[in-house]
Amino acid sequence: MIIYLESPRTFFLQGADSTYAMAVHPAGYLCHLHWGGKLHPDAALAELCRQEGLPFSPRQPLPGLGKVALDVLAYEYPTANTGDFLTPAVDVVHADGTRGLRLLYRGHRITPGKPLLPGLPATYVETDDEASTLEIDLQDTVSGIQVTLSYTVFAGRNVIARSARITNRGPLPCTVTRALSAALPFSGREFDFIHLPGAWARERWVERHPLHSGTQSICSRRGASSHQHNPFFALAATGADEANGEVYGFSLVYSGNHFGGAEVDQQFNTRAFMGIMPEGFAWKLAPTESFQTPEVVFAWSDAGLTGLSHQYHRLYRERLVRGYWRDRDRPILINNWEATYFDFTTEKLLKLAGAAKPLGIELFVLDDGWFGSRNSSDSSLGDWFPHSARLPDGLAPLAKSINEQGLLFGLWLEPEMVSPDSRLYRDHPDWCLHIAGRDRTEGRNQLVLDFSRPEVVEAIYERIADILKDAPISYVKWDMNRHLTEVASAGRRPERQGETAHRYMLGVYAFMERLVQAFPHVLFEGCAGGGGRYDPGILHYMPQVWCSDNSDAISRLRIQHGTSLVYPPCTMGAHVSDVPNHQIGRVTPLDTRGHVALAGQFGLEMDVTKSSPETLTGLTGLVELARQTRDLLRHGDHYRLVSPFSGNHAAWMLVSPGGDEALVVFVLELAEPNRVLPRLRLRGLDSAARYRCIHGPEGEWFGDQLMCIGLSVPLKHDFASLAWHLRKVSGPSPT
């Protein structure tokens, strides 16, 4: 998978249909040659890294090489203040206060498999033949600082996982002020920048615009990957669409502050980059110490956005998500949040569980409000002891009663937070992030615990582990309902305060790792005020994430469509809720709410003790359909058929790997008078096979008919929908 040619030094990383190539410039710089369609390894390509200088180019005089122009090289890992003027990947302040690195090739290693990234989430392999890893050492001769670039290429995929490790091999301390995971140069700027901005209840909408000169970027300064900018962007060749054209993806396996983008230079060439947000970041490296960046996963496809999504979906569900639940159908749940909010008693919960069971529900989740004296969002985070009025006998008896009703029991937690009105805060007022002498800014009446301090992580871990040991808890919803402000730690010396935001994430990851190792059978669902921390970092610990607090079916079309660009449908929590919808007041038909929720891990978020008999019958059918299609959800390839961003309706489908089964969903937003909707053309089916609709509008068609002519969609009312569950059939041809 990785080929090295010695003269001149050239590297070829061979993916399924793609090649990533680099060469060492005669001056020692590691330069990029190509990423895209597959190439035969040929050392002559190294010529590409020699570039003519431009007026105003800084030039390095080198014996035998003349003067090498430095602002035109296609650097793999560009530095600051030594001749390149674009966005650097790394910057360091030396002991004498000066900045600058000149990174030159020193050596490399090629090893089978993929090493772990200590303390960080990452993609992985199960056997060494699944991937090969190339590590290239670059060094600055003046300071001794070494950068080791890591590239993993996976067999049968078109993805490259990249990260960097910065080691101080010099005699003096230094401070790393920027340590991106990777940069990547492109010839030309004929690309669209696609990214997933949003807000609470409006996460991951798709935006696309042509690259322009200068920098276009995404970032988070919130201490979480955030609702506002997902740590993902793509560069799509101009004209590339869902099914055609070259697309490059950049997805950071990290849940904290991030920064990614593309800079178009004076020659209209492009440099893409991604990593931890440099603002506010300063990491001290004493001699021999190292800093490891998170991993960024590059994906490439020449089959448009669908091809790109399939690369990410397959890798993330197979080799990012881990553990017991990775390859198992997840239970269909009911969550009491929208049914009761804080207004519940044990009796009310048992009644809700009792009404849910006959619908086919398998897991009952007790959300916020079960602990301390929490009757609203004003208090008690950190006091993880059962609420004395609501759960007078504790959690275990409730969990057991739910189990006796035939349901698993799940629990909501928000371990990273503390309420100022809590016993924990009164006992340890310095355990939150804060700056002495400044106001402690609250968000949802709460403060953020200082998870950059191991003693804080340890204390909260002990409490949470006891809860999971003491009651039969099969599922945890891990919430995080505010962003980080006054990022500073009472446990850290002044010169190391710039490490706090990243050390916070390392503390969170250490906590999560310990928890998933200690409780391997618990299903964890990530959440951060809905989808505020829906990123690959979280997926390494939690195989699913609550996609958004907005449970309105029509809003969800956009949210889920954007999410599906990177994240596999089986990672998306998607629930049916009551109408009028609690977030935006919209009334949609039950079937539409159900069909939209089939795009992810299906559940209910409603008071089924008050539902009408017709609603209960409808719910029973939808739960059954979710059960019948959840295997498809876990393995199937997802196709976005009609974008909710481009018109008045939306459609998507899932197809099983062999094309034997498919689920298709179409949703109309606002009906128009006298309008016949266009036929819905499907994708990914076996063209020669016949398919029968086993749930939904009756019919039997050949795969080619479904893909070339399509299904008719006789919908006439606002918010109406159709779902087709198709199965391959054998036997006589359809008439």
User: Residue holding tokens 């020669």?
Assistant: 688
Contact residue for ligand DGJ among 203, 246, 368, 661 (CB under 6 A): 368
Catalytic-residue membership of 549: yes
Query: Nearest Cα to 204, choosing from 650, 560, 648, 641?
Result: 560
Contact 452, 497 (CB under 8 A): no
| Footprint (CB under 6 A) of ligand DGJ, residues 605-664 | none
User: Residue holding tokens 């993880």?
Assistant: 384
Is residue 71 a contact residue for ligand DGJ (CB under 6 A)?
no
Pick the closer one to ligand DGJ by CB: 74 or 528: 528
Q: How far apart are CA 506 and CA 534, in angstroms?
A: 17
Pick the closer one to ligand DGJ by CB: 49 or 606: 606
Q: How far apart are CA 119 and CA 339, in angstroms?
A: 38
Pick the closer one to ligand DGJ by CB: 136 or 201: 201
Centre a 10 Å sphere on the Cβ of residue 177 and count the other Cβ atoms it contains. 18
725: left (phi over 0), alpha (psi -120 to 50) or beta: beta
* Least distance CB 449 / ligand DGJ (angstroms): 16
Pick the closer one to ligand DGJ by CB: 452 or 481: 481
Pick the closer one to ligand DGJ by CB: 507 or 530: 530
Pick the closer one to ligand DGJ by CB: 529 or 636: 529
| Footprint (CB under 6 A) of ligand DGJ, residues 492-521 | none
Residue nearest ligand DGJ, CB atom distance:
368
Is residue 409 a contact residue for ligand DGJ (CB under 6 A)?
no
Token pair, residue 197, equals 């901005």
Which backbone phi and psi does 690 adopt, to 5 degrees? Answer: -105, 140
Contact residue for ligand DGJ among 90, 355, 366, 527 (CB under 6 A): 527
708: left (phi over 0), alpha (psi -120 to 50) or beta: alpha
Contact 211, 194 (CB under 8 A): no
Catalytic-residue membership of 479: yes
Centre a 10 Å sphere on the Cβ of residue 733 and count the other Cβ atoms it contains. 7
* Least distance CB 551 / ligand DGJ (angstroms): 9
- Spell out the SS3 assignment of 272-298: EEEEECCCCCCEEECCCCEEECCEEEE
| Maximum Cα interatomic distance, the chain, rounded to a whole number of Å | 86
* Least distance CB 486 / ligand DGJ (angstroms): 22
Burial class (CB in 10 A: 0-12, 13-18, 19+), 481: buried
> Which segment (97-105, 451-459, 524-532, 683-691) binds ligand DGJ by CB under 6 A?
524-532
* Least distance CB 254 / ligand DGJ (angstroms): 21
Contact 364, 353 (CB under 8 A): yes
Is residue 367 a contact residue for ligand DGJ (CB under 6 A)?
yes
Written as one string, the DSSP assignment of 514-527 is HHHHH-TTSEEEE-
Cα–Cα distance list, 26 to 8, 31, 73, 301 (Å): 8, 10, 12, 32
> Which segment (201-209, 525-533, 635-643, 646-654) binds ligand DGJ by CB under 6 A?
525-533
> Which segment (97-105, 425-433, 523-531, 586-594) binds ligand DGJ by CB under 6 A?
523-531
Sign (positive or negative) of CA dihedral 101, 106, 111, 115? negative
Q: How far apart are CA 692 and CA 451, in angstroms?
A: 54
Pick the closer one to ligand DGJ by CB: 10 or 446: 446
* Least distance CB 499 / ligand DGJ (angstroms): 29
* Least distance CB 412 / ligand DGJ (angstroms): 6
Token pair, residue 399, equals 């969990």
Contact residue for ligand DGJ among 549, 591, 637, 661 (CB under 6 A): 549
* Least distance CB 248 / ligand DGJ (angstroms): 32
Contact 164, 155 (CB under 8 A): no
Contact 531, 575 (CB under 8 A): no
> Which segment (104-112, 212-220, 446-454, 522-530) binds ligand DGJ by CB under 6 A?
522-530
| Footprint (CB under 6 A) of ligand DGJ, residues 529-548 | 529-530, 546
Query: Nearest Cα to 119, choosing from 256, 319, 226?
Result: 256
* Least distance CB 544 / ligand DGJ (angstroms): 13
Pick the closer one to ligand DGJ by CB: 368 or 661: 368
Q: How far apart are CA 459 and CA 579, in angstroms?
A: 42
What is the CB-side half-sphere exposure of residue 488 using CA atoms within 13 A?
14
Pick the closer one to ligand DGJ by CB: 227 or 634: 227
Q: How far apart are CA 353 and CA 554, in angstroms?
A: 27
Pick the closer one to ligand DGJ by CB: 261 or 529: 529
* Least distance CB 652 / ligand DGJ (angstroms): 24
Cα–Cα distance list, 7 to 10, 45, 223, 574, 653 (Å): 7, 11, 46, 54, 49
First to last CA, the chain: 50
Pick the closer one to ligand DGJ by CB: 549 or 591: 549
Is residue 600 a contact residue for ligand DGJ (CB under 6 A)?
no
Contact 450, 433 (CB under 8 A): yes
Which backbone phi and psi does 104 adopt, to 5 degrees? Answer: -120, 150
> Which segment (156-164, 207-215, 422-430, 526-534) binds ligand DGJ by CB under 6 A?
526-534
Is residue 481 a contact residue for ligand DGJ (CB under 6 A)?
yes
Catalytic residue among 549, 578, 591, 637: 549
Token pair, residue 71, equals 């602002």
* Least distance CB 335 / ligand DGJ (angstroms): 7
Contact residue for ligand DGJ among 450, 479, 525, 578 (CB under 6 A): 479
* Least distance CB 453 / ligand DGJ (angstroms): 25
* Least distance CB 670 / ligand DGJ (angstroms): 28
Written as one string, the DSSP assignment of 645-685 is TSSSEEEEEEE-TTSSEEEEEEEE-S--TT-PPPPB---S-
> Which segment (11-19, 202-210, 527-535, 626-634) binds ligand DGJ by CB under 6 A?
527-535
Catalytic residue among 137, 368, 479, 607: 479
Residues facing residue 258 across a β-bridge: 220, 276
- Residues in contact with ligand DGJ, counted by CB under 6 A, come to a total of 11
Contact residue for ligand DGJ among 77, 412, 431, 451 (CB under 6 A): 412
Q: What's at 15, amino acid-wise?
A: G
Pick the closer one to ligand DGJ by CB: 593 or 638: 593
* Least distance CB 454 / ligand DGJ (angstroms): 27
Pick the closer one to ligand DGJ by CB: 10 or 571: 571
Q: How far apart are CA 447 and CA 444, in angstroms?
A: 9
Q: How far apart are CA 585 and CA 337, in angstroms?
A: 17
At a CB cut-off of 8 Å and minimum separation 6, what does 221 contact? 257, 277, 279, 280
Contact residue for ligand DGJ among 337, 344, 511, 652 (CB under 6 A): 337
Q: What's at 563, amino acid-wise?
A: T
Cα Rg for the chain, rounded, in angstroms?
A: 27
Instruction: Give me the residues that bind ligand DGJ (CB under 6 A), please.
Output: 337, 367-368, 412, 479, 481, 527, 529-530, 546, 549
Which residues are identified as catalytic? Answer: 479, 549
